[in-house]
Structure formats: structure tokens, C-alpha cells
Chain A
Amino acid sequence: MIVDGERPIEAAAPRAMPPRVLLPLAWLALVAAAALAAPWLPLPVPHAMDFAAAAQGPSLQHPFGTDLDGRDLLSRVVHGARISLFVGLAAPTLGLVIGGALGLIAAYYKGFVRRAILGALDVLLAFPTLVLALALTSILGATLENVTLALGIILIPAFARIARANALPLLGREFVLAARTAGAGDLYILLREVLPNMAMPLLTYWLTMISLVIVAEGSLSFLGVGIPPPAPSWGGMIAYGREALERSPHVTLVPAAVMFLTVLSLNLLGDALRQRTEAREGALR
């Protein structure tokens, strides 16, 4: 019976992936695989300088060329992907977990708890996001963990709002009432009854925040207040190549292109996912 129940869902799934889903997936898989395998790939050390080979164009030895200090650009871009992907995955996850929990609590409980949470979120929202991220990283100190923490914190209010907006209509539904009548505790109701039914919008938002955070991390590094050199952050690489934009534009353009393709891929996937969930919700109504 379960097998029968699953078949229509499989049939409803698209037969072949269109290129606008397949190509972004392929690019992201390539970037993720390169980032994960970076220490074992046959690449030069990303911060090994070689002034004799400075600012060279692409060659067999250096497929993407070298930067102004003769460092291998391919190796730096691959190691930079580790930073971008770490921050890009960790910061939205932080926002999702803390913001989601706060949103759920603010939807479920009335009175002081709710007012305190909503008030605290409004205080966070009183700061423009980039200014808050800048202030937090400058106070905490610019390390990979602190940049991630700062970017995660600025995402909390948005996740909390989405969680609360999605939880509120669910709380009045029969299955929540049934669970409560059956004697279920608050934690059980929130985690087992409400949360699974609002996971999709939260996860869709989580996915769209990845590209936003990758750009934000790039902006902080570009401004010189993000993860400090010689760590090869994409934004830092782009800023660093700027002084030689005229002589060797590839030093800037290589990391810029990699960043662009990654953000574009994430946006395309987010768009496709949103269209699918919207279509499915539309069909249910």
C-alpha cells in the first residue's frame, strides 16, 4: 500500500532535468567537490609566492594564470571555495536554527515571551544589515568563525518572521488540537507536528540565503574587514587584483567569474525550487 502511495509522487516528478537545473547543479557539484578535495588535489600551495612568475596569463603550469605575487590562481580559487561554501552554508544554518526556533516560540506562546522575542527582533532590524555585519565583525575580530557568526546573526530576524508567519496558521489546525488533546507536550507539538509542515518554506529561504551570504562574505573581504589575507577568500582576491586591473585584469576577473557562476547557479536552483513548491501548493488548494 505504501508503494502504491508513492508511485504518483514519482510520476509527478519531472522526467528529465532541464538545462537550467542540470547546469547549475553540475557547476555547484564541481565547486563543492573541488572545495572538499582541495588538500589532496595536485595544486600548488595557495599562498606560495613566486615573483618570477608574477601576473602571468593562463599556461599549462597555471591554468588560470598567476596573481601579482605569482600565486597560482586556480589553487587560490579552489581554496577560496572552501571559505565561501563554509560561510555560505554555516551562516544561513545558524539563522535558520536560531531564527526558526524564535519564530516558532513567538508563534506558540503568548504574552511576555512573545513580546520579548518580537521586540528583540525589532531591535536587530533597527540596524541596516551590512552596517550591523560590519560592526559585529569589527568587535568580534575578523576570523572565519566570527564572520560566519556575524552573518548568521543578521539573518535571524528574517528566518524568525518566516517561521512565525508559517507557524501561525498551522497552530489552529485539527492535527495540533488532536495532539494537544492526546496529551502531547509543547515541545512535541512544535517539533513533531508544526515544524515538519513548515519545513519547505524555511528550507527554500535557506537555499536563497546561501548566495546572499556568499556575496556578503565577499563584500566584507573586499572591504578589507573580512577574513584576513593570506586566506584566499574570493572577495579578497577580487579586491587585491584591483590595483593591477589595467595590466593584468585576469587576477580580478578569474575569481569574479567563479563567484558569478556560483551565485548564478544558486539563484537558478532557488528559482526552480520556488516554482516547484508554488506549483505544488497551488495544486493542493
Chain B
Amino acid sequence: MIGRVGANVGGRLAYLAAVMLCAAAATFLMFELLPGSLADAILGENATAEDIARLEAELGLDRPLAERFAAWLWHALQGDLGRSHITGEPVASAVAERLPVSIELMVLAQLAALAIALPLGTLAGYREGTRIDRIISGGAFGVLAVPHFVLGILLILVFAIWLRVLPATGFVPFAADPLGNLRSMVLPTLTLALAEAPVYLRLLRSDLASTLREPFITVARAKGLSDRRILLTHALRPSSFSLITVMGINIGHLIGGAVVIETLFALPGLGRLLIEAIIKRDYPVVQGLVLFVAAAFVVVNLVVDALYALIDPRVRHDRRR
């Protein structure tokens, strides 16, 4: 049986590698098929034909497409994602510099979203159909309709402009000033958390409400266990799987940076790097970043998938069957 599971995992990894290879080819071709060559973009409109030809030879653009793709992929596999044609900075070092900011935002926001969603979702699910449930669910539904950037602007308006208690922009590196860093992360974290908490809350509420109708809860009640004990030890765990699934998907997406929120609060994360590169038409950076983000996304999804088997015994049994 272990051999079969091993073969399954091997087959899945081989398939994912094939998918990643196609995704890399798609990324490469997307930018190769751009109208106008990279040399045009670098040299601008006043370049002579000889200048362009010289630069194209220098960049290796005169070689055949397949050869260039192989070279690009070979370098990428060794961690060389190309260079910015504006600053000359390697994309890989830009990623290494910016990734921690995106990850910090992701972790803080997930924690804050759980801090909002767990108590409120539990309360609403436990009191399903009551007034308190209607208030919580209605509030979540309303917040869900506010786009992320509007949510962020409203928070800036209230906390940075009217109350003047928090900075709206101005990222402070953690190494320079840990407290200042956390202060500069409060509003971005809160924005992202408020955007995600309603989704988590609704999932938890409906799953918990249906778990509480299960026979094993009636049994626990009949044994005389307190409601608090039933909720915390019996009901919450089997009710949190949809929430964990969606959280896994969100974490995968946030690997590429919370583009909108990083832009709004001027956080130097991966998302901001991508937008800056797009606006400056720094295509080697966009290309390298898209490849990195896609690879990271696939790996994170793979890890999250594997984690379900650890958390949810039902997945484990389904796979064995």
C-alpha cells in the first residue's frame, strides 16, 4: 500500500512538474510575442537600426526561440530569474528582498482574520437564526461587498486622517524598528483581515450550525456536557475544514503579494514590485516574477493539499479507499 501511495505522490509530482513546465513556457511566450522587441523598449524611439541589432545580439535576442527558452529556463532553475533592464538588479535578489514583507502581511492578516472570524462565526453558528446571528451575518455580508481598496481607503480616512492614531503609509523595516514596523503594518493587516474575515466567518457559521445538528452532539448533550465544552472540544474541529480549505487557497494567492493593499499602503512587497515593473514596462522583471509566483503558488497548493490529510481524517481515509 505504501508503494501505491508513493507511486501516486510520484505521479502527481510528475504531473505538476509538467504543468509547471507548460506554465513557464506560457510565461516565456507571453512576453516573447510582445509587439516590438525588448531592445526597442530599452533604447527608446531614437535608436538606430545598428544600435538595436547590437543590443539584440548582446541580449541574445537573435538566437532561435527554443534556444532562448531553454537558456531562460536553465537559468531560472538555478535561481537566476533575469535582470531588470532599467536598474540592472537581478530579479531573484529583488524577490528575496520583497518576499518577507508580503509574507509578514499574509501571516498577520490571517491571524487577525481568524481573531475576528472565529469568535463571531462560532457565536453566529451557535445561535443560528437568532437576532445576534442575523446582526453578525448581515454585517459580514455587507463588508463582503466592499472592495479591498475601498476598505483600505475607509480605514485610512478614519484612523490616519480623522483620528490620526496610525500612519497611512511609510513602511518601517522590521530589523530597523520592530515596534514601528508593527505600527506601520496595522492598517494594511486590518484591511486584508477585514476583507477575508467575512468569508471565514460565513463558512464557519454554516458548518458549525450543521455540525450542531449531528447525532454525536446530541449524545454529548445527553451526557450532560456543558455547551462551552461541546463547542470547543466536539463541534469546532469538524466544522473548520471548509475554513481551512479556503484559507489555504488565500495563502497561495497571497504568496504573490496582496497587490492592491501593498499599493495602497506603499508596502515594498512582491505585489508592489509587480505593479511597478508593469507600469515601467520592465518586462524581464514581470516575466521573472510571474514565473516565481506561479511556481510558489503551485508548491504552496501542494503543501496545503498534503496538510489536509494531516488535519482531516476523512481525507486520509478517502485516499486509502
Contact = CB atoms under 8 A, between A and B. Distances in A.
B20 A223 contact: no
A59 B22 CA distance: 57
A259 B146 CA distance: 8
Given A131-B274, A264-B142, A267-B141, A224 B279 contact: yes
Interface string B21-44: 011001100110110000000000
Contact of A267 (B19, B144, B157, B286): B144
Given A245-B156, A256-B150, A134 B22 contact: no
A238 B263 CA distance: 14
B209 to A, nearest CB: 15
A136 B27 CA distance: 10
Interface string A238-278: 11001001100100100010011001100110010000000
Interface residues of A, number: 39
A222 B294 contact: no
B148 A123 contact: no
Question: Which of A119, A120, A128, A246: most chain B CB closer than 10 A?
Answer: A128
Given A127-B297, A131-B290, A256 B153 contact: yes
B211 to A, nearest CB: 19
A256 B279 CA distance: 24
Given A126-B294, A245-B156, A260-B145, A139 B34 contact: yes
B306 interface: no
A215 interface: yes
Nearest to B281: A138
A50 interface: no
A135 interface: yes
B34 A134 contact: no
Interface stretch (B2-10, B121-129, B218-226, B253-261): B253-261
Nearest to B156: A245
Given A139-B31, A219-B260, A245-B161, A128 B293 contact: yes
B150 A238 contact: yes
B298 interface: yes
A222 B156 contact: no
Interface residues of B, number: 43
B19 A123 contact: yes
Contacts of B69: none
Interface string A56-67: 000000000000
Contact of A126 (B148, B275, B298): B298
A219 B147 contact: yes
Contact of A218 (B33, B34, B149, B256): B149
B128 to A, nearest CB: 15
A252 B152 CA distance: 12
Given A139-B34, A245-B157, A128 B297 contact: yes
Contacts of A123: 19, 22-23, 26
B52 to A, nearest CB: 21
Contacts of B161: 245-246
Nearest to A247: B161
A234 B94 CA distance: 32
Given A119-B19, A134-B259, A127 B149 contact: no
B278 interface: yes
Given A127-B297, A128-B256, A245-B157, A215 B19 contact: no
Contact of A245 (B153, B281, B290): B153
Contact of B256 (A131, A219, A259): A131
18 contacts: A123-B23, A126-B19, A130-B253, A130-B260, A134-B259, A211-B145, A222-B260, A225-B278, A235-B149, A245-B157, A245-B161, A246-B161, A249-B157, A252-B153, A256-B150, A260-B145, A260-B147, A271-B141
Given A134-B275, A224-B275, A225-B275, 14 more contacts: A119-B19, A120-B22, A127-B293, A128-B293, A129-B253, A134-B259, A134-B278, A139-B30, A215-B147, A219-B148, A219-B260, A222-B260, A235-B147, A242-B153
Which 4 residue pairs are nearest across A and B when measured between Cβ atoms? A264-B145, A126-B23, A138-B278, A263-B145
Interface of A: 119-120, 122-123, 126-131, 134-136, 138-139, 211, 215, 218-219, 222-225, 235, 238-239, 242, 245-246, 249, 252, 256, 259-260, 263-264, 267-268, 271
